[in-house]
C-alpha cells in the first residue's frame, strides 16, 4: 500500500523559505506512470495546486506562485521536496503531497498534510 508522509517545520518566519519533504513508501517515485505533486489549503479555504514533478525531473508549477516554488526529486531516498521562497502570512496553509496518475489522471494517494504557519 502506497503511503506518503510530509515532513518539515510547522512555523516559518515571513520572508524565509519553506522546505518540505514528502517521503514515499510502498512504491517508487521513479514510476513512469505517475507525477508527484504538492497541493495546499489555507485554513477554511479551498485547494490550490502548487506543482507536479515527473521522474525525469520535469516540473510544472502554478503560475500564481510567481516562480517562488521549486519541486525536486531524490530518487535515492524515494522522496520529493518543495521549496517555497519569500513566505508571507498568505502562505499559511495545510500542505499536502500526493501521487498524480499520468494516464487516468487524478491524485489517488495523499499524505496526511502538514500545517505551516507563517509568523514572526
- 85 belongs to the binding site for another protein (CB under 8 A): no
- 60 belongs to the binding site for another protein (CB under 8 A): yes
- Residue 8 or residue 113: which is nearer to another protein going by CB? 113
- Rounded CA-CA distance 84/92 in Å is 12
Residues sharing a CB contact under 8 Å with residue 38, sequence separation 6 or more, in sequence order: 20, 22, 49, 50, 51, 52, 69, 71, 82, 95, 96, 97, 98
Among 49, 78, 92, 117, binds another protein (CB under 8 A): 49
Q: Quick one: which segment of 10-18, 19-27, 48-56, 74-82 binds another protein (CB under 8 A)?
A: 48-56
Are the CB atoms for 87 and 17 separated by under 8 Å?
yes
Q: Which residues bind another protein (CB under 8 A)?
A: 37, 39, 46-49, 52, 60-63, 96, 98, 101, 104-108, 110-113
Amino acid at each position: 500500500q502506497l503511503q506518503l508522509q510530509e515532513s518539515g517545520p510547522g512555523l516559518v518566519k515571513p520572508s524565509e523559505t519553506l522546505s518540505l519533504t514528502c517521503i514515499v513508501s510502498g512504491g517508487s517515485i521513479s514510476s513512469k506512470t505517475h507525477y508527484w505533486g504538492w497541493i495546499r489549503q489555507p485554513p477554511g479555504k479551498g485547494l490550490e495546486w502548487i506543482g507536479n514533478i515527473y521522474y525525469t525531473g520535469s516540473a510544472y508549477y502554478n503560475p500564481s506562485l510567481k516562480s517562488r516554488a521549486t519541486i525536486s526529486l531524490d530518487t535515492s531516498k524515494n522522496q520529493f521536496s518543495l521549496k517555497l521562497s519569500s513566505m508571507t502570512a498568505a502562505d499559511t496553509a495545510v500542505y499536502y503531497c500526493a501521487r498524480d496518475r499520468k494516464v487516468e489522471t487524478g491524485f489517488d494517494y495523499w499524505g496526511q498534510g502538514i500545517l505551516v504557519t507563517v509568523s514572526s
